């Protein structure tokens, strides 16, 4: 008798477990009762940046290429990559439709920066880096065109050295008139 009741109890527990597991599996199919929904990420663009020397077009190895994704006028962070021996770096995590501020820093070259609109799935950007120019000094004389002044009578800078006196006109070839107080002798 004990054996028979133990068998009945086992069958009853197995049936109850099977019914409970089928209800639980059915509950997973209902999506309207879940808390958080999965949102797929936006499509991203593949951007290949090539960094070259402006003088001869040779690639610049190990240049820092910094991507600043922009949201309006606000920077959303940055991602920095280094160029390979071909002067190339590739990024494929920027969403299409975003604006990215691209900054390139390479030893011995001017820092480059410009904003780009990511509007295609594949983009190739070529940047030619220039050597740094001569620094501007207030102690050196500069012509008006390169200094940015529009007129020769522009006011000097506050810390600038005083301007040199204008050159004297050449002396006249005729002797000056004698003073009126002396009598003329002939």
Q: Confidence band (pLDDT; 50, 70, 90) for 74?
A: confident
Which residues neighbour 158 within 8 Å (Cβ) at sequence distance 6 or greater?
none
Residue 65 has phi, psi (to 5 degrees) of: -110, 115
pLDDT beyond 50 at 76 = yes
Give CA angle at 142 (136, 148), nearest 5°: 80
Q: Confidence band (pLDDT; 50, 70, 90) for 6?
A: confident
**How many Å apart are CA 31 and CA 140, to the nearest integer?**
75
What pLDDT digit, counting tens, does each position of 142-172 carry?
Answer: 776 554 444 444 444 444 444 444 455 444 4
Q: What are the tokens at 129?
A: 């880096």
Separation in Å, CA 7 to CA 2, 11, 12, 16: 9, 6, 9, 14
Q: Where are the domains of the chain?
A: 44-129
- CATH class for the region spanning 44-129: mainly beta
pTM score of the predicted model: 0.55
């Amino acid at each position: 008798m004990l054996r028979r009741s133990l068998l009945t109890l086992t069958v009853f527990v197995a049936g109850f477990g099977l019914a409970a597991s089928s209800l639980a599996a059915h509950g997973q199919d209902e999506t309207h009762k879940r808390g958080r929904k999965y949102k797929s990420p936006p499509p991203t663009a593949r951007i290949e940046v090539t960094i070259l020397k402006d003088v001869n077009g040779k690639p610049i190895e190990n240049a820092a290429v910094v991507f600043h994704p922009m949201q309006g006028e606000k920077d959303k962070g940055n991602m920095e990559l280094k160029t390979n021996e071909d002067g190339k770096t590739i990024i494929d995590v920027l969403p299409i439709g975003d604006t990215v501020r691209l900054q390139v820093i390479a030893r011995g070259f001017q820092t480059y920066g410009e904003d780009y609109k990511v509007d295609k799935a594949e983009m190739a950007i070529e940047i030619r880096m220039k050597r740094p120019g001569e620094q501007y000094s207030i102690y050196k004389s500069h012509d008006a065109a390169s200094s940015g002044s529009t007129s020769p009578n522009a006011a000097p800078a506050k810390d600038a050295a005083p301007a040199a006196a204008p050159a004297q006109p050449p002396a006249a070839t005729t002797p000056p008139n004698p003073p009126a107080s002396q009598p003329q002798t002939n």
